[in-house]
Amino acid sequence: MVAASSPISRMPPEYVTTDLYLSAFLCNKGVTLLALRRLGQKRVEFRFVACAQVHALLRLYWNGQPTPVVPWELFMCLRKLKNLSINKYE
């Protein structure tokens, strides 16, 4: 049992994915990126705050429902995530 005052109990729930394009979509929609970690030369783990917004966006993304995005903003999120994954090693 974890005590209520321990740091583990205060961590927000996370959604974890290695899908770069899904991560770019979530970032574009305003979901908070908590951390990223390189798992290998070409594999990166992205950690987001898990909330109702994330679950709603995941349903949109995986069901292929038309969702308005500004292409330039989406591509900038993709570029930002790629740069972070290259420059940051945990």
Q: For residue range 33-66, what is the model confidence (pLDDT) as tens digits?
A: 999 998 888 899 999 999 999 999 999 999 998 9
**∠ Cα 13 27 49 (to 5°):** 5
Q: Is residue 16 part of a domain?
A: yes
With respect to residue 78, please indicate whether it lies within any of the assigned structural domains. Answer: yes
- In terms of residue numbers, what domain contains 51? 12-87
Report the first-to-last Cα separation within the chain, whole angstroms. 28
**Whose CA is closest to 32, among 17, 16, 47?**
47
Residue 1 pLDDT greater than 50, yes or no: no
Q: How far apart are CA 21 and CA 34, in angstroms?
A: 17
Q: What is the pTM of this model?
A: 0.82
Q: Does the residue 35 lie in any domain?
A: yes
Instruction: Note whether residue 3 is domain-resident.
Output: no
Q: Domain total for the chain?
A: 1
> What is the number of residues in the chain?
90
